[in-house]
Structure 1
Amino acid sequence: MADIVTLLAAAGAEAAHAEPSVFGIDTYQWVALAMSVLLAVFVWKKVPGIITGGLDNKIAAIRAALDEAKTLRAEAEGLRAEYAAKIASAEKDAEAMLAGARNEAEAILAKAEADSDAMVARRQKMAEDKIAAAERAAVAEVKARAVTAAAAASKVLIARSHDSAADRRLADEVIASL
């Protein structure tokens, strides 16, 4: 075969390319005929209707999914708003509890201060009462010692300056006054 190509090339003749044909129809015509038959089969079998029906079903499914997604989003936003309200309410409750605790602590502190002031006043009064009682006891003891000392001194003085005649005279005066 290489000899033929070499001979043709040497002769300067160009090799002609032969196109295949069947029944006198070229290849591009066969392709057009096959496409026409295929399109006719599609139209005859209603393939476009089946394809569009399938696409319509897909579109309907996608719309249903989108509607469900919108519904779920609305529910989620509602839950978010509800929980935001609950959080705000919980924060208000916490603030109210904190304020109540502060007020209660202040009341307890005020009561403790009042109780301590009252206790100091009671203890001070008790101390003053003890001091007054000790003063009274000291005064009574001093008076008792003074009375004892005065009685002893008067006994000594009376014993020195008083004799039996003065005793008789006193006794007579007392009897006469009765």
Structure 2
Amino acid sequence: MEFLSTPEFWVAVSFFIFLGALFYFGVHKKVATLLDARAAQIAKELAEARRLREEAEKVLADYRRKQGEAASEADCIIALAAKEAESLAAETRKSVKDHFERRMKLAEDKIARAEQEAVREVRSVAVDAAVAAAQALIAAKLTPDQAEKLVSESIDSLKSKLN
């Protein structure tokens, strides 16, 4: 019985006594209950995490959908703005062209009136010069007898034209 004097034997005996005491007092049931409670708590936390993940995925999907809608709306706004800008540019070009044509027509009309006025003035000056030259010529070459004869011929000619 030599093994009774070895320390390993007594460590083994005390270990088994310790395990026996644990089983006697039901520590294994309490540990199992605690482990079950901890497992239930972990399962509950996992379920909550799963629910939160699903909710986050829904929010992310909603965000991506809204982002897509915003991008398409932005594209529509840009296309509309480009269309309106092109329309405005075309309208402005037409307006400028019409304005230019009106100004050109007004300038041409003004030039034509100025030409007519200049021609009238030249004719008037020419008529005045011709009358003055005719008066000077007539005064220089016409005798009183010839003047009286011309006046009476003109009166006779007028009488025949009026009747």
Which bin holds the TM-score, normalised by the shorter protein?
A: 0.7 to 0.9
Kindly name which structure, 1 or 2, has the bigger radius of gyration based on alpha carbons: 1
Q: What secondary structure sits across from 2:39 in the alignment?
A: helix
Task: Tell me whether 1:127 sits opposite 2:107 in the alignment.
Answer: yes
| Match of residue 51 from structure 2 | 71
Change (3 A) 1:156 1:29: closer
Q: Does 1:143 align with 2:143?
A: no
RMSD: 3.0
TM-score under structure 1 normalisation? 0.73
- Output the amino acid matched with 2:57: E
What is the aligned partner in structure 1 of residue 155 from structure 2? 174
Aligned length: 158
**Match of residue 164, structure 1, among 133, 144, 152:** 144
TM-score by length of 2: 0.79
Instruction: Give me the whole-angstrom Cα distance separating, in 1, the residues matched to 2:40 and 2:57.
Output: 25
What is the CA distance between 1:105 and its match in structure 2?
A: 1.7
Percent identity over the alignment is 34
Matched, 1:52 2:24: no
Query: Structure 1 residues 32, 154: CA separation in 2 closer, same or farther (over 3 Å shift)?
Result: closer
Q: Which 5+ residue runs of structure 1 have no aligned equivalent?
A: 1-17
2:16 and 2:154 map into 1 onto residues whose CA distance is: 179
Q: Aligned pair in 2 of structure 1 residues 172, 62: CA closer, same or farther (>3 Å)?
A: closer
4+ runs of 1 displaced by more than 6 Å?
Answer: 26-29
Relative to structure 1, is the Cα distance of residues 94 and 29 closer, same or farther in structure 2, using a 3 angstrom cutoff?
A: closer
Whole-angstrom CA distance in 1 between matches of 2:78 and 2:69: 14
Is the 2:4–2:10 contact (alpha carbons within 8 Å) kept by the matching residues of 1? Answer: no
Structure 2: runs of 5+ lacking an equivalent: none
